[in-house]
Structure 1
Amino acid sequence: MVRVGDPGTTPVFPYGPLPAAPHEEPHSAAEAAHTASDPVVLRIARGPEGLARARSFTRDTLRDWSLGHRCDDATLVMTELAANAVTHAAPRCAGAPDVRLGFRLEPAHLLLTVSDPDDRAPVLAPGAGSGLEEHGRGLHIVDALSEAWGWTPTPPAGKTVWARLSTSPPT
């Protein structure tokens, strides 16, 4: 599993290519059936309505792309990333634009992105993923469900946090 937590990694959607996968293996027939798609972007408002819209849009997009088998994990990852942006980043930037979600389907991967107006790095709280804490587990969940995740600055201001999930059906 690749973990990226510092800026300066290869820029990602919508600004450039994905970072290299931890290992590339020949594509199976199921993976070959998924072709690269045009990115899909959604702007959400800050608040519970925006998060509900993020969940619904994620499920609808994955079903449209015949990725129902990835729907639960992708929806949870997108919800955690969006919740972090809405809760921690957007409130620090009064008058800044809303949070933007992005989806891109590639032959073997699904890329989920959340862009927000705050320049500060996401924080993976130490030890927060192991207990029954009410807060601080979001990035631990993202880390557990994705092949890789990270963030990149988005000039002129803000950042994009991304997660890459496999499109392969569960075995």
Structure 2
Amino acid sequence: MSLSRQQRFPRARVSVRAARQFVGDTLGEWGFGDRRDDMRLCASELAANAVLHGAPLGREFSVRLVRAADAVSIEVRDTGPGMPKERRPAPEEFCGRGLWLVKELADEFGVRDEVVGKTVWARFKVAGA
């Protein structure tokens, strides 16, 4: 059995925090404590990418959580063009590490091309709640 929960957010910087809170609250309701901080951090990074690079002006992005027996997936979908690319920033650079961080923390990571836009997802193996 799987459960899912989804919420839409406006293309605004405050939405990154709201998306992280949505993920944390949902995981709490589902009874997950294990890896919760990693999942919240990854949700922040994926939401920040949607705000900064994915969602066109005036559009929204969505965050969807899917709970399965042994995993939780976080999916962030936007309607913008282009596909995200993992960067290798220089040590003195202040940004550009988000996708690398998600890739390191999640057990699986990927990008799904949609008819309009894309979905960036991260999957975390977890013990049942």
What is the TM-score with the length of structure 2 in the denominator?
0.91
Structure 2: how far apart are the matches of 1:136 and 1:81? 12
Q: Which amino acid aligns with 1:72?
A: D
Matched, 1:120 2:82: yes
SS in 1 for 2:66: strand
SS in 2 for 1:58: helix
> What's 1:51 paired with?
16
RMSD: 1.6
- 8 A contact 1:147–1:163 mirrored in 2: yes
> What's 1:94 paired with?
57
Kindly indicate which of the two structures has a greater share of residues assigned to strand: 2
Structure 2: how far apart are the matches of 1:142 and 1:99? 18
Structure-to-structure mapping, 1:147-158, within 5 angstroms = 147-155=107-115, 157-158=116-117
Q: Which amino acid aligns with 2:77?
A: S
Name which of 57, 64, 74 aligns with 2:29.
64
Identity value in percent = 34
- Structure 2 unmatched runs, 5+: none
Name which of 129, 134, 144 aligns with 2:94.
134
Structure 2: how far apart are the matches of 1:143 and 1:133? 19
What is the TM-score with the length of structure 1 in the denominator?
0.70
Matched, 1:145 2:108: no
Runs of 4+ in 1 over 6 A off after TM superposition: none
Structure 2: how far apart are the matches of 1:143 and 1:131? 18
- 8 A contact 1:119–1:153 mirrored in 2: no
Q: Deviations over 1:82-115 (max 9, x none)?
A: 100100112xx334x3010000011111110000
User: What's the CA shift for 1:132?
Assistant: 4.8
> What's 2:7 paired with?
42
- Structure 1 unmatched runs, 5+: 1-35
Q: Which amino acid aligns with 1:168?
A: A
Structure 1: how far apart are the matches of 2:92 and 2:3? 39
Count residues with an aligned counterpart.
128
